[in-house]
């Protein structure tokens, strides 16, 4: 079976969103291609996935070290620059003035001369079978065990009303959605703009009908939301926010992801990019892993040495077991 393809976001849409986000710095030439790049902002990480002590050390050592990313850190899984394995830092002919680190998210485990590669959690991608004409067809393709689990998630969330807010004015949902997003991210390492309402607003205003938002309401109170981009080759899951206590009770994560499965089927898109994290949960819904990593360039030997120590001695990915929910 050939490696699963993970398409980038259509170039015009990617450019429109990135240029509307804070920190965007225009174009940078890398390996003969022009890519938008941006400042990387790390907002007081709490260290759910990396030790708090190590993050404290890194913050001290790297204080004052300016970092730029190819693409934008608030647009994960939408751009994968192509790097030359043997050209090293020379493939960036005009280095960003005053910056010590340039980072790119690439597919696979890219070994680039003179750069530091740090593996990342895989993107989980669900291929949408051509025979799935409805969401019920998707459920029917599962073995009894996993179909029962999926239906249990839907059953638990029955008291929760799903509302398609995609056509509603941004001001009617952005405040509570950004609050829920902040609540959801508070225990994670955050590399998003400080203004989460500005982030959501930029996506909607620049992508229009291609940006979908589903809100979840219980007893007249908004308890969660999920967003997605419907692009030419795929549906991309983007932002999710929820009240933590409610989410644990009703398996909100699974429920909202299954709503995106339904969206991808209805839109007749061949792939659903479910994003990184929660690898095992997403595999129970049929998603397959697409390997990716971060490649760090720096002209400073001290910075490169620090990054190598981190990559070799401290960086650890969460363990998981991939599930196979579909009938053989």
Q: What is the CATH number of the domain that holds 192?
A: 3.40.630.30
What pLDDT, on a 0 to 100 scale, did the predictor assign at position 328? Answer: 83
Can you tell me which residue has the tokens 């991210």? 185
Residue carrying structure tokens 């959801």: 184
pLDDT in 10s for each residue of the chain, 328 residues: 556 889 999 999 999 999 999 999 999 999 999 999 999 865 544 444 445 555 555 555 555 568 899 999 999 999 999 999 999 999 999 999 889 999 999 999 989 999 999 999 999 999 999 999 999 999 999 999 999 999 998 888 888 899 999 999 999 999 999 999 998 887 665 567 778 999 999 999 999 999 999 999 988 899 999 999 999 999 999 999 998 877 766 688 899 999 999 999 999 999 999 999 899 999 999 999 999 999 999 999 988 998 898 889 888 889 999 999 999 8
Residue 38 neighbours by CB distance under 10 Å: 24
**What is the sign, positive or negative, of the torsion defined by CA atoms of 195, 79, 288, 208?**
positive
pTM metric for this prediction: 0.92
Q: Are residues 130 and 24 in the same domain?
A: no
Radius of gyration of the chain (CA): 20
Domain co-membership, 284 together with 302: no
CA 207, CA 34: separation in Å to the nearest integer? 22
Task: Report yes or no: 81 and 30 within 8 Å, Cβ to Cβ.
Answer: yes
Q: Are residues 105 and 150 located together in one domain of the fold?
A: no
Does 42 map to a domain? yes
Q: How far apart are the first and last CA of the chain?
A: 15
In the prediction, which pLDDT does 48 show? 44
What is the spatial distance between Cα 10 and Cα 70, in angstroms, rounded to a whole number?
16
Residue ranges making up the domain that contains 74: 11-120+290-314
Whether residue 169 is found in the same domain as residue 215: yes
Residue 157 and residue 249 in one domain: yes
User: Quick check: is 16 in a domain?
Assistant: yes
Q: Are 13 and 22 in contact (CB under 8 A)?
A: no
114 and 244 both lie in a single domain? no
Looking at residue 155, what is its pLDDT? 87
Q: Residue 52's pLDDT is what? A: 53
Do 169 and 197 sit in the same domain of this protein? yes
The encoded tokens of residue 190 equal: 């955050």
Q: What CA–CA distance (Å, rounded) separates 211 from 89?
A: 36
- Using CA atoms, how far residue 171 sits from 16, 192, 200, 247, in Å, is 20, 21, 11, 24
Residue 130 forms part of a structural domain: yes
Structure tokens at 185: 């991210």
CA distance 48 to 122: 17
My answer on whether 175 and 265 are in the same domain is yes
Decide if 322 contacts 283 (C-beta within 8 A): yes
Query: Across the chain, which distance is largest between two alpha carbons, in Å?
Result: 59
Q: CA–CA separation, 225 vs 202, rounded Å?
A: 17
Is the same domain home to 235 and 187? yes
* Together in a domain, 27 and 170: no
What's the structural domain count of the chain? 2
Determine, yes or no, domain membership for 26.
yes
Domain check: are 173 and 89 in the same one?
Answer: no
4 in any annotated domain: no
Asked if residue 39 belongs to a domain, the reply is: yes
| Cα 161 from Cα 72, distance rounded (Å) | 33
**Domain-located, residue 61:** yes
Cβ pair 46, 53 in contact under 8 A: no
Q: Is the same domain home to 144 and 224?
A: yes
The DSSP line for 157-195 is: TTTSEEEE-TTS-GGGTHHHHHHHHHHHHTTS---S-S-
Handedness of CA 193, 197, 202, 204 (dihedral sign): positive
328: exposed, middle or buried (Cβ count in 10 Å: 0-12, 13-18, 19+): exposed
- Residue 47 located in a structural domain: yes
């Amino acid at each position: 079976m050939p490696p699963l393809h993970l398409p980038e976001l259509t170039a015009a849409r990617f450019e429109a969103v990135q240029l509307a986000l804070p920190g965007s710095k225009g174009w940078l030439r890398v390996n003969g291609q022009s890519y938008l790049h941006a400042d990387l902002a790390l907002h007081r990480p709490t260290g759910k996935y990396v030790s708090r002590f190590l993050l404290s050390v890194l913050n001290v050592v790297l204080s004052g070290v300016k970092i730029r990313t190819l693409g934008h850190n608030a647009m994960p899984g939408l751009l994968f620059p192509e790097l030359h394995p043997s050209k090293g830092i020379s493939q960036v002919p005009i280095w960003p003035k005053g910056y010590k680190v340039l980072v790119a998210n690439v597919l696979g485990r890219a070994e680039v001369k003179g750069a530091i590669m740090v593996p990342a959690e895989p993107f989980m991608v669900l291929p949408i079978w051509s025979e799935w004409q409805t969401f019920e067809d998707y459920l029917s393709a599962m073995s009894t065990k996993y179909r029962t689990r999926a239906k249990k998630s839907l059953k638990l969330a029955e008291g929760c009303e799903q509302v398609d807010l995609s056509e509603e004015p941004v001001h009617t949902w952005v405040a509570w959605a950004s609050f829920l997003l902040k609540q959801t991210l508070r225990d994670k390492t955050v590399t998003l703009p400080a203004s989460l309402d500005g982030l959501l607003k930029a996506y909607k205003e620049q992508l229009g009908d291609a940006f979908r938002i589903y809100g979840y309401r219980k007893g007249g109170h908004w308890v969660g939301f999920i967003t997605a981009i419907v692009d030419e080759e795929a549906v991309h899951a983007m932002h999710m926010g929820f009240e933590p206590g409610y989410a644990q009770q009703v398996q909100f994560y699974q429920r909202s992801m299954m709503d995106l499965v339904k969206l991808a089927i209805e839109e007749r898109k061949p792939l659903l990019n479910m994003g990184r994290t929660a690898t095992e949960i997403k595999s129970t819904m049929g998603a397959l892993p697409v390997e990716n990593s971060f490649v760090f360039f720096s002209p400073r030997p001290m910075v490169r040495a620090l990054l190598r120590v981190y990559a070799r001695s401290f960086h650890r990915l969460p363990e998981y077991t991939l599930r196979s929910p579909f009938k053989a």
